[in-house]
Structure 1
Amino acid sequence: MTAEQRVAKDKAVEQSSVLDELLREREGLLGTLDRVVALQGTARLIRETIGSHSGFVAELDGPDRAVIRWLAGNRTNALQNLAVPIGQGIGGRVLALGEPVRVSDYVSSSTITHQFDAQVRGEGLTAMVAVPIFSREGGSTRTVAVAYAAMRESANFGDDAVGRLEGIAEQAATALRLAGVAESSTANAVSAERRRMQAALHDSVGALLFSIGVQVRDLHQAIRDNPMLEHRLRSLEADVSAASSALRESLLALSESSPERALPVEMAEHARSFESRCGVPARFVQLAPVRPLDAERTGLLIAAVREGLLNVEKHAVAFSVVVSLGPSDEGVQVVVADDGAGDAAEEQAGTGMGLRTLSDRAARLGGRVSLVRNEDGGCTLRAWVPGVDSPR
């Protein structure tokens, strides 16, 4: 091992220790963890810690199948979104056995099946090791994902490498567990609010509409011989008017929210819309609560997210996008980060009227906007504005 390799290994071990500490310290802050971030970070950590040419993670999308979605160090898209059924290849064997599997030369190994030789050759991989990522809940253990490390040359992954990969898998399992709790908590809160609104609508608008229905049925019976028809029609009209007014008020209440609540809701919706439109996983993560902003600052940050996602759609060949929101330097910052292979930053720098407009708007508020190419691939757009009470 060269001196440079030893330095890289020591740095990776240090980074792994830092991640351990962060996970322990922030277990209570469930909202800061996201499934996409956890799995993409796991793929990158594998390369740094193991010293492998490639690291990737396959997540289960059914009881007997995993799909490779998160890669680091890949040269092609040969393995991207590859479905791996139980028992097939090295990952499928891990699913079947629930234990590590390693091969020194994938395509010539007699211990695995070879349905994916073409994809492995296409990526230029040779030696490979894979371990399960377990979920341990309620006294039961089940595999929820598979972590891989691979080399582009024949090699033997020793017990030390397997142990380090299993350690990374443990960290990933912790992050996934916390992300799952956060998602569940959010879903429960949304469900409870919907039930509350449903009950309110039932008790107000529903009751009025029921009253109208009863009166209409009565009128059908009495229309021919009731001298009070005009009075009852006026009463019916009043009830209709009251029902319409109550419905408008209820819908208005549903659409209204404070600026600090509207901001994450709007950003999450833009991320969902991007994912639906482009088929690229996009997640919104609120890192911490933010102070209330006025309409101008809120509008700028939302516009920055739209511009960042549009930039990824037009210029980047991305596999995932993360939109984050959080406090920063006595203000609020949004970040749109992708892992694309396209040079979005340079493309946008040359033609980005939208980015220049955003920068001008931010400058008038004492804020700033930047778009840079990441060292490990992809681009990051950042937009920051000072808080309402902060000096410019």
Structure 2
Amino acid sequence: MERSNALDGLLRERDALLAVMDRVVALHGTARLIREAIGADSGFVADLNSPDQAVIRWLSGTRTHELQNLIVPIGQGIGGRVLALGKPVRVSDYVSSPTITHQFDAQVRGEGLGAMLAVPIVSKSEDSERTVAVAYAAMRKAADFGDDAVRTIESIADHAATALHIATVAESNRADAITTERQRMRSALHDSVGALLFSIGVQVRDLHESIRDNPALDHRLRRLESDVSAASSALRESLLALSESTPERALPVELAEHVRSFEARTGVPARFVQLAPVSPMDAERTALLISVVREGLLNVEKHARAFSVVVSLGPCDGGVQLVVADDGTSEPAAPGPSTGMGVRTLAERAARLGGRVSLVRDDDDGCTLRAWLPNVEPR
């Protein structure tokens, strides 16, 4: 029993490490942890599109897709009330509560939810605090969430805020801020995560020697050994990426992160392929290509019944070409605002840089969003 408990502890440490190192895993883990921590039937997390609007993206324990990508404006429902007040809100029965608006009753009924608790995920700095996401817990019956449950979810929200802060810093367009933060994160990862992985590895080897007579624990231990090895490899790659902060290195890393986030959010298989190294680009070109990927993936998410998506980056005709291709079966989205920057706007920005952006329907019914930018700005 003692050896089994030790192994369970190592597994928990492994999960915590992976959550810290990956934004999507962290937020998925937040939704799951909410359920486990207070015994809720479901947990979910909403990101903020703007200070006045949240979108529910990460869910655990739900039975339908009623809440997936649900837009929650400030003041509406329990999440919108959290945005307005900046503090936890709880109801014992959502659809009959007199303290909230009821724009989302149909979705809540469709999911079969009763009691609900929502807590702000707050980013804190020396001189300000702001809500950056909302964490929810829900039951499938009328019930009361007590003060202990509120405090537990607030603690989970604090950890989620840390993960979101790291992601926000990584996505910053300011090269100096990225370089400084990467150096700090590289040092922190090396000193804390690296040391902890080493410690886990040592404990794994010690446990391995003492449980050879227990096949069940031996199997779990071998899986843990494999996970620790994979985490060590991921850490080495992260340290390399953080130490090489040139634009041509940073662009593929960020594009791959957007693809991973899309796949985790939608369940649609997606992959990023770098066909060959690309020439260095300035901040404006880098930001444009990132915007193209975000626009392309959002169009697929909102309009295409896609089975897979491929994002590719590589040199082409004296410049850099970026392609977002899907095998969806619906009509392509018309150019216009979606992420705040539609295809037409992206094309205009690319034209000013001597490049081009186009969205075309493929012969096999999929859609391809293609962007090309020259290596050197025209004189």
From the CA coordinates, give the structure whose radius of gyration is larger: 1
TM-score (norm 1): 0.44
